[in-house]
Amino acid sequence: MDALELKYINVESSFYEEAVKLREHLFFKNMKNRRNLIQDDFELNGNHLICLSNGEVVGTGRLNIKNTIAIISQMAIKNEYQKRGVGSKILKALIIKSKENEVTKIELGARKTAIVFYEKFNFVSFGSTYASKKTGIIHQQMKLMIK
């Protein structure tokens, strides 16, 4: 695999549009209002982390921190880079950034198919599964308590 580079960006970055298109393609591909679904309450103030391979965005994740709680969302990895460590690399970096900001808990909504991935990083499920308001896909709330 090519060398991977992690980089935090904001919405002004030249890579931002590429990261948004990746999320649109993976999450909201056949939806007419897909750009509006990306532009939620967390988007503008998010810490957007991208993973680059040869200058191309191959993965992204978003971190928002409010008081002592961090929220990870919009984790998206290009299909051909899935199961090759990109998601793990992004998630580890988002956890480190959360710890640097002295959070006590990280929360996320995982697609049912991704629960096992997050469990590898000690996230635990809480509450009942639910259908995403944006996509209808079944999700599970998960959390990681920070010591």
**50 vs 8: CA distance, rounded Å:** 6
**95 vs 115: CA distance, rounded Å:** 16
Question: Is the pLDDT confidence value at 34 over 80?
Answer: no
Reported CATH class of domain 4-108: alpha beta
- Angstrom distances, CA of residue 124 to CA of 29, 39, 64, 77, 145: 29, 28, 19, 22, 9
Q: Which tens digit of pLDDT belongs to each residue from 71-85?
A: 999 999 999 999 999
Question: Is the pLDDT confidence value at 1 over 60?
Answer: no
pLDDT band at 36 (very low <50, low <70, confident <90, very high): low
Question: Where exactly are the structural domains of the chain?
Answer: 4-108
> CB neighbours of 32 closer than 8 A, spacing ≥ 6?
none
